[in-house]
Amino acid sequence: MGRILVGTASWTDKTLIASGWYPDDVTTAQQRLAYYAAQFPLVEVDATYYSPPAETTVSLWRDRTPPGFTFNVKAFSLLTQHPTRPTALYKDLRERLGEPKKNLYLRDIDPAIADQVWERFLAALTPLHEAGKLGAILFQFPQWFPIGKRNKHYILECKARCAPMRICVEFRNHTWMSEENQAETLDFLSSYGVPYVSVDMPQGHPSSIPPVLAATADLAVVRFHGHSTKWTSKNIYERFGYRYSEEELRRWTPKLRRLAEDARTTHVLMNNCYRDYAQVNAAQLARLLRLSTPEAATARR
């Protein structure tokens, strides 16, 4: 069985800081990341979805974490075909856009500008990649990204652009994992060695993906979004403010162990980011996995 790394999708959320999870004497950005990295071996950076990071910031992440620590980084919204605020773009590129719009889409951008966004976003991640601390770049595609030839081609384009950095993909359009298309989707990803991101999330919504665990590469990724009854809320804390019970996590333990048999490394990320819910649940899940699989590399060092 491969290694299982457990972590969360944030370490700087304002409600987490206010929750008291960090000790009173841990007050700076440097101290918080160091403290987090002493608890978990893995973290997902979600802020990069809203705005591309500066290379100096990424270098600080590298320097403030111990050897072997792993960052997964969420791809910038423009690159996953989500609406993007013009103010999130690099200033010099924004000035080349012409008439400002409320939101930009990749299809609206001159290809030369899009190429620059790709180049700069990936260049900023180089310090993590060169240090061996970059796990994968998460491409979470939107509801309007259905299964089809064009979108499969775009996934392969993302993979090629990011190489040698690796990507993983999460879908929010049900057609990819419907009963009739599920085998096709997993076979496509397996054929090109692209890790599929398995999810646990509320069901019954247009964006709902069933909780199918599958390893389509030597890296498997699982993201836990919770089961909030307010999944459609625009308030992210209402959407993700769900705390798993230990019994729920206990039921996931054998499933995650089975998934880890098919991958060299499995990343398990709690994305129920409200107060300390994700951190508490990650520690619980890591303990359950550690008890059932002593050889697995789980949350605590």
b/e per residue 180-205 (b: at least 16 CB within 10 A): eebeebbebbeeeebbbbbbbbbeee
For 243-300, what is each residue's pLDDT tens digit? 999 999 999 999 999 999 999 999 999 999 999 999 999 999 999 998 875 544 444 4
Q: How many residues does the chain have?
A: 301
For 216-251, what is each residue's pLDDT tens digit? 999 999 999 999 888 888 888 888 889 999 999 999
Q: Which domains does the chain have, with CATH numbers?
A: 3-292 (3.20.20.410)
Query: What are the start-end ranges of the H helices in 108-181?
Result: 111-124, 126-130, 149-162
Instruction: Give the three-state DSSP class for 152.
Output: helix
For 78-123, what is each residue's pLDDT tens digit? 999 999 999 999 989 988 887 767 899 999 899 999 999 999 999 9
CA atoms of 295 and 137, how far apart (whole Å) = 27
CA atoms of 65 and 139, how far apart (whole Å) = 24
Question: Between the CA of residue 174 and those of 127, 146, 160, 180, 248, what are the distances in Å?
Answer: 36, 8, 25, 11, 24
Instruction: Give the three-state DSSP class for 117.
Output: helix
HSE at residue 200, side-chain half, CA atoms within 13 A, is 20
**Confidence at residue 293, expressed as pLDDT on a 0 to 100 scale:** 55
